[in-house]
């Protein structure tokens, strides 16, 4: 199954731990044989979040850079370009119901490239019906649900 990951799952790669999220979550998804994808805008989000932590003295710039490189250069993770016309057109449609345009790009990348979006974002889960109306067979799930796949 092709699974596009929301940014949250990649934060541990740059040194940011998320309560309730095991550091090896992405590796476990890969081990199960799923194809893992991320939106190009996720790399921007990792950089932005990392920059905040670097400025606050909570992370080194080197740690953030190494983590981003680990994601970008991992052959098991496919980066979906955000400038693709179909992704942008779908993101524009999503913008009517989803206020965060970065989320629109991530959701659109998943709709156009994957079978499922894995996210913990409650705003996205709350808009599941509207989002799935664009592609009814498309799924939006949380990490706890992936064990059932």
How confident is residue 22, by pLDDT bands cut at 50, 70 and 90?
confident
- Mean pLDDT for 103-111 is 98
| Residues in contact with 38: Cβ distance below 8 Å, sequence separation at least 6, in sequence order | 4, 5, 7, 10, 71, 77, 78, 79, 80
The per-residue pLDDT of the chain, averaged, comes to: 94
**How many other CB atoms are there within 10 angstroms of residue 44's CB atom?**
15
* Per-residue pLDDT tens over the stretch 75-98: 999 999 999 999 999 999 999 999
Residue whose pair of structure tokens reads 């990649």 in the numeric block: 10
Q: What is the pLDDT of residue 149?
A: 53
- Mean pLDDT for 9-14 is 95
Q: Is 147 a residue whose pLDDT tops 80? A: no
Establish if 114 belongs to a structural domain.
Answer: yes
How many domains does the chain divide into?
1
Q: 3-class DSSP state for residue 143?
A: helix
Establish if 149 belongs to a structural domain.
Answer: no
Q: Is 52 a residue whose pLDDT tops 70? A: yes
Q: What is the pLDDT of residue 5?
A: 97
Residue whose pair of structure tokens reads 């309730």 in the numeric block: 20
Domain, as residue range, for 27 = 2-144
CATH code of the domain in which 14 resides:
3.40.50.1010
Q: What is the pLDDT of residue 121?
A: 95
Establish if 131 belongs to a structural domain.
Answer: yes
Q: What is the pLDDT of residue 148?
A: 57
Q: What is the pLDDT of residue 24?
A: 83
């Amino acid at each position: 199954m092709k699974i596009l990951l929301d940014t949250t799952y990649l934060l541990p790669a740059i040194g940011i731990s998320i309560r309730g999220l095991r550091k090896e979550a992405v590796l476990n998804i890969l081990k199960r044989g799923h194809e893992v994808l991320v939106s190009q805008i996720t790399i921007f989000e990792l950089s932005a979040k990392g920059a905040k932590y670097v400025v606050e003295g909570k992370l080194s710039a080197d740690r953030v850079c190494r983590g981003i490189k680990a994601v970008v250069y991992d052959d098991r993770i496919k980066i979906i370009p955000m400038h693709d016309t179909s992704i942008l057109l779908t993101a524009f449609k999503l913008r009517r119901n989803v206020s965060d345009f970065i989320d629109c790009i991530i959701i659109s990348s998943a709709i156009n490239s994957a079978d499922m979006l894995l996210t913990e974002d409650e705003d996205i889960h709350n808009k599941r019906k509207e989002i799935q109306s664009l592609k009814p067979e498309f799924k939006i799930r949380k990490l706890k649900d992936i064990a059932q796949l």
